[in-house]
Amino acid sequence: MLVEGDDPHVWRMLCGRSPAAVRQVDAWMARALAARSGALADPDVRAAAREALPQRVTAHALLLQALANTTAGSVNEGLPFVGALAEAAPEATEQLARWLAATSGPA
């Protein structure tokens, strides 16, 4: 591969958008994946999305799902730290989500 998929210069070139716009799209995709809304209600589409989306997006979705399970409801958009965590450390975000799911269970 010539460039990494998370290279900000590539994102700007391909998307023609600012990094903030890319983060907004990432957050939207993560929320849709976590909520299983729209086309992502289909398990096959969700599985394909998890394979195709960057790890920061899937980690974001996984943590949103875990937080929703611990709070007995959907998590609103007022949690910008979830996206920041997923962008900064996707592996750690996934580990946190799995830990929350294992220790909390549904509320």
Under a CB-based contact definition with an 8 Å cutoff, are residues 57 and 40 in contact? no
Indicate if the pLDDT at residue 63 is higher than 90. Answer: yes
Residue 91 token pair: 């592996």
Reported pTM: 0.73
Segments making up each domain of the chain, as ranges: 8-104
What is the predicted pLDDT for the residue at 74? 61
Higher pLDDT, 12 or 37: 37
What is the predicted pLDDT for the residue at 69? 83
What is the CA 2 to chain-centroid distance, rounded?
25
CA 42, CA 94: separation in Å to the nearest integer? 22
Indicate if the pLDDT at residue 1 is higher than 60. Answer: no
Higher pLDDT, 17 or 30: 30
Per-residue pLDDT, averaged over 83-94, amounts to 92
